[in-house]
Chain A
Amino acid sequence: MGLQGWRNVLALKTSKNNNRAAWQRAFPVPLSHSQITRLYSRFHSLDKGENGALSREDFQRIPELAINPLGDRIINAFFPEGEDQANFRGFMRTLAHFRPVEDNEKNKDLTSGEPLNSRTNKLLFAFRLYDLDRDDKISRDELLQVLRMMVGVNISDEQLGSIADRTIQEADTNGDMCISFSEFIKVLEKVDVEQKMSIRFLH
């Protein structure tokens, strides 16, 4: 591990429970000490260049991710606008979207701003997988792109086009031939997003 890596590990190891508040501020994810340490080990094992940040190639080295049809889009979510490197903070921030929603949080007063793993934010994550140009609308082309990624070469262009048209028709309520975020939320209102977009830690 490089020097920076050791510093981080040392910081992790010497932080005690009463520093948790500081941790929460830096990493807005209330995980336990051992979970954060293990995620850091995972981050570090993916970081082949040992420079404290992950590149797109580092992600693509995971075989299960490389064969995932939406692999590239998911990797994209870890890299904010225009950047090529994801540091540990960014890594955790993106993963934070997938924390399960605890029961006692569902009714919490959200004056301090919504937590990253709220239902709305999870849906926003999914919305952004479609909306590549970040104009807050899923156009027909963007929908076709994602469809093409998921089905590969197995469906013809015309069939795919008609599927896209039907999907937009059903979702579009204001007639602009695009799906906005609120229309997206409406379509998915009956789906158990909290459960489907969550990762459960074992301990």
Chain B
Amino acid sequence: MEGFWAVFSPVLRVWFTSLVVLIMLPAMFGISLGITETYMKILIKTLEWATHRIQRASRAEEILKHSASNGLIQRDNSSLEQEIEELRRNRPKSAERGDFTLSDVLYFTRKGIESIVEDDVTQRFTSEELVSWNLLTRSNNNFQYISLRLTVLWGVGVVVRYCILLPLRITLTAIGLSWLVIGTTMVGFLPNFRVKGWLSDLVHLMCYRICARGLSATIHYHNKQNRPKRGGICVANHTSPIDVVILANDGCYAMVGQVHGGLMGVLQRAMERSCPHIWFERAEMRDRHLVTQRLRDHVNDKTKLPILIFPEGTCINNTSVMMFKKGSFEIGGTISGPAGIYDPQFGDAFWNSSKYSMVSYLLRMMTSWAIVCNVWYLPPMAQKEGEDAVQFANRVKSTIAQQGGLVDLDWDGGLKRAKVKDSFKEQQQKKYSHMVVGDDSIENVTVGNADF
């Protein structure tokens, strides 16, 4: 046992020193030594080779077609009225006593079966399918055994990821987080000079940078001139809890969220000491006025940091942007919005919270190749005259979706867990009834507009 430690401790010392010099110090000051770049280049070359092998082995046309459109079936976008008109085309029209044909069911049947095979919503809550395999079995849905060389490569990849990268990353994150706690506590002791704010920003930035290195995150920021200023609100699309680290790498934000216990609670309290964030008790979250009031107070104080909010309310798998809850848009002030896109080639950042717990999610993150991310800062927007919160939210959502090349969906992200509201079904029924009896004899049924 003694001998083991004698050998082990110099190794440990070398390990730590190299870690500090090569990774931590540059990270803290925001300089890059080029190690990550070389790593990424090697990774890309290897993956390209792997893809090449796969394409050679199986029929190349199948994969090419797959990449052209990720949809499984062809879907018409024609409306209910159009389709039913077509179905009825060949029948003589009789206006008395309603116009109904037995063939009307065919429309609903086909729509139903199409949605069973492929629908817009449930596929957003599972990880995106990759076109070519990236040597991680977790993203291996449709790929078969190809050759021995590929399997060996995969095996090497496993060793590299679990035995080299994982301990490295865990160490870095641990250092980063403890530095966050220590640093913010120290800054918290200082009296309220301007220096405090500057120091607090510095501490936060350093820690987030170390954490980002801890995930091997490569982030490209675009349009830095649009970075949010103090006293505003920042909205972004949400793919995983790591979004916070990604965005905070480039600027300081005030976080909004629930008070947690455990490790998260320690972090939250530490951060609160050096600069004001907004943490809510669980009971307070239900009182919307209270929430809005606190957010509004924070925003109106121009010395405070911009608030970071994710209006989708849940993690979406980065192929689309779902409905933005209007609450964040009622506060007033200018909204700026970064749009963040992950490149799934190197690691799938989506957190399926109903399937994986936080810890297993972090482990998966740390054993991926890397997280590659692009962040575009969008120019700030303000609510226009005569535009209500919902329309404003939709406008911001479309801008973010467009910038990131994501699909803009109107469905509520809450459908991940909750059932869809009946009012949508009632809308369809109403439309169909118009077709059966014509407009004037419909009894006016109040279908309350879904309260988001």
Complex Cα spacing A129 to B104, Å: 12
Q: A129-B105, A151-B432, A199-B110 are in contact. Are A34 and B66 (CB under 8 A)?
A: yes
Report the Cα distance A146→B104, complex, angstroms: 11
Distance in Å: Cβ of B218 to nearest Cβ of chain A: 30
Interface residues of A in 153-167 (CB under 8 A from B): 153-156, 159, 162-163, 166-167
Known contacts A68-B111, A155-B436, A202 near B71 by CB under 8 Å? yes
Q: Flag the segment in A56-64, A101-109, A110-118 that touches B.
A: A56-64
A130 → chain B, closest Cβ, in Å?
Answer: 7
Which chain A residue lies CB-closest to B123?
A45
Which of A32, A98, A202 lies in contact with B113, CB distance below 8 A? Answer: A98
Give the Cβ gap from A173 to chain B, nearest Cβ, in Å.
14
Which residues of chain B in 362-414 are interfacial with respect to chain A, using CB atoms and an 8 Å cutoff?
Answer: 411
Do B110 and A202 touch across chains, with their CB atoms under 8 A apart? no
> A126 near B114 (CB under 8 angstroms)?
no
B123: A residues at CB distance < 8 A: 45
**Which of the segments B151-159, B237-245, B289-297, B421-429 contacts the partner chain?**
B421-429
Q: How far is the CA of A42 from the CA of B437 in the complex (A)?
A: 38
B142 touches A38 (CB 8 A): yes
CB-based nearest B residue for A200: B74
Residues of B98-130 at the interface with A, using a CB-CB cut-off of 8 Å, are: 98, 100-123, 126, 129
Q: Which B-chain residue is minimally distant from A74 (CB atoms)? A: B112
Flag if B120 contacts A64 (CB, 8 Å). Answer: yes
A71 CA to B108 CA, complexed, in Å: 8
B109 touches A155 (CB 8 A): no
- The answer to whether B144 and A150 have CB atoms under 8 Å apart is no
CB <8 Å contact, B66 and A163: no
Q: Which of B87, B113, B129, B429 has the most CB of A within 10 A?
A: B113
CB of B62 to closest CB in A, whole Å: 5
Indicate if the CB atoms of B97 and A62 lie closer than 8 Å.
no
- Contact, CB under 8 Å: B437 / A171: no
Question: Does A188 interact with chain B (Cβ within 8 Å)?
Answer: yes
**Quick check: is A65 within 8 A (CB to CB) of the other chain?**
yes
Please give, as numbers and ranges, the residues of chain B lying within 8 Å of A38 by CB-CB distance: 72, 142
Q: Which chain A residues (165-203) contact chain B, with CB distance < 8 Å?
A: 166-167, 171, 179, 184, 187-188, 190-191, 193, 196-203
Chain B residues, Cβ within 8 Å of A67: 420, 424-425, 428
User: Is A124's CB within 8 Å of the partner chain B?
Assistant: no
Q: How far is the CA of A59 from the CA of B112 in the complex (A)?
A: 10
A68 and B108 form a contact (CB under 8 A) = yes
Across the interface, do A197 and B106 meet the contact criterion of CB distance under 8 Å? yes
Expressed in whole angstroms, the minimum distance between the Cβ of B28 and any Cβ of chain A is 43
Interface string of A29-63 (1 = CB under 8 A from B): 00011110111011001100000000000011111
Instruction: For A60, list chain B residues within 8 Å (CB).
Output: 419
- With contacts A34-B66, A68-B108, A199-B113 known, is A41 near B141, CB below 8 A? yes
Q: Which of B68-111 contact A (CB under 8 A)?
A: 68-69, 71-74, 86-87, 90-91, 97-98, 100-111
With a cutoff of 8 Å between Cβ atoms, the chain A residues found around residue B122 in the complex are 45-46, 61-63
Minimum CB–CB distance for A113 against chain B, Å: 23
Which of B181-189, B260-268, B273-281, B439-447 faces chain A?
B439-447
The complex places the Cα of A152 from the Cα of B106 at a distance, in Å, of 18
Within 8 A of A (CB), among B50-67: 62, 65-66
Q: Does B433 contact A (CB under 8 A)?
A: yes
> Quick check: A153 and B106 within 8 Å, CB to CB?
no
Does residue A95 face the partner (Cβ distance < 8 Å to B)? Answer: yes
Which residues of A85-134 have CB atoms within 8 Å of chain B's CB atoms? 95, 98, 125-126, 129-130
Q: List 8 A-B contacts (CB under 8 A).
A: A14-B144, A64-B121, A68-B108, A69-B425, A151-B432, A154-B430, A179-B102, A187-B103
Write the residues of chain A forming the contact surface with B, with a CB cutoff of 8 angstroms. 13-14, 32-35, 37-39, 41-42, 45-46, 59-71, 74, 95, 98, 125-126, 129-130, 146-147, 150-156, 159, 162-163, 166-167, 171, 179, 184, 187-188, 190-191, 193, 196-203
Please give 17 more A-B residue pairs, beta carbons under 8 A apart, in addition to A63-B415, A64-B121. A32-B62, A38-B142, A39-B72, A39-B117, A46-B122, A61-B122, A64-B120, A95-B113, A125-B109, A126-B109, A150-B104, A152-B426, A155-B442, A188-B103, A199-B113, A199-B114, A202-B73
